[in-house]
Amino acid sequence: MALKDRFVDPNSPDRRPRKAAYALPTLFTAGNIFLGYISILRSFKGSMLLAGGLPGAPEHFTVAAQAIGAAVFLDGLDGRIARMTNTTSDFGREMDSLADVISFGLAPAVLAFAWGVQFIDPTIGEKLRGQIFNAGYFIAFLFLLCGACRLARFNIQVNPVPKNPGRPDRKYFVGLPIPAAAAMVCAVVWACGSEPLVYWPLSVAWLGLLLLLGFLMVSTWRYYSFKGISLNKAYSPLIIILVAAFIFGMAYYAQILLLGMATAYVSSGIFIRIGGILRRRMRRPPPPPAPEPSLG
């Protein structure tokens, strides 16, 4: 029996799901919001400890980053579960978008500023430090704004996950998905041991990364979508081996593995864009030969 058949109301003539079934994906979305809320609280707590000269701030930044990572995992499940149980609804879609703004927009923006900008070395001078602070305020907000615009565009598109014209079996996102941008932020924080940045050139580079992520979210560059992957489909032994290797890597090298995966996915859209430009230039017909000059 298929999963969606288990949630069918036996008294419904048109095989509608039970009313309680609609709560299942919403619970995952609520968990997404809760994790974003926890991340924001832990970022504030870490900032207050550092401002007071007390120990323990990196642990709070670690929890803030891990909460965002867990929210990315839940975000990948709620929509998939809704489709598998045939419980998709307009309410669920709107709830999911609001959850994404909190967990993948606001929470990473707060963490990015608190970890990467707020505690740079004060000996660099008040003027330079103030300039970096002001840039940090604006760029963190810009990251949040770009994420909200990305979600709004996704919601109003007729076909938010179009097919690749050259590969009809593959679908892609238009612009970097906001969960991937948030995953990049938390992966960098966690991989660095959650120790806040104090060297100002690193903070400037960090703000440059936030700008890049914001641009990629609102761009029209293509990113591969994994929505075509079915959980009910039998896969080859190679896929099973790769999944086992992923679980092993998460157990022993989670920080490096997640940073590598986030970097690879963010970079993939850039390489796809560059490859498309190069292919179009190679296919461009050569200019016609110039006419030979007349001899009179």
* Helix or strand (DSSP H, E) at 223: strand 222-224
Please report which confidence band the pLDDT of residue 20 belongs to, taking 50, 70 and 90 as the band edges.
low
Please report which confidence band the pLDDT of residue 243 belongs to, taking 50, 70 and 90 as the band edges.
confident
Is a pLDDT exceeding 90 seen at residue 47? yes
Q: In 3D, which of 148, 64, 166, 133 has the Cα closest to residue 102? A: 148
* Residue ranges in the chain assigned as alpha helix (H): 3-6, 23-51, 57-84, 90-101, 107-116, 126-156, 178-191, 200-218, 237-252, 254-283
Per-residue pLDDT, 198: 93
Per-residue pLDDT, 222: 92
Is a pLDDT exceeding 90 seen at residue 279? no
The full length of the chain comes to 296
Per-residue pLDDT, 1: 46
| Window from 3-12, 78-87, 118-127, 133-142 with minimum mean pLDDT | 3-12
pLDDT single digits (tens) 170-219: 578 999 999 999 999 999 999 998 899 999 999 999 999 999 999 999 99
Query: How far, in Å, CA of 194 to CA of 161, rounded?
Result: 35
Partners of 173 in the β-ladder:
223
Q: What is the pTM of this model?
A: 0.84
Please report which confidence band the pLDDT of residue 141 belongs to, taking 50, 70 and 90 as the band edges.
very high
Q: What is the mean pLDDT of residues 12-32?
A: 73
Per-residue pLDDT, 169: 44
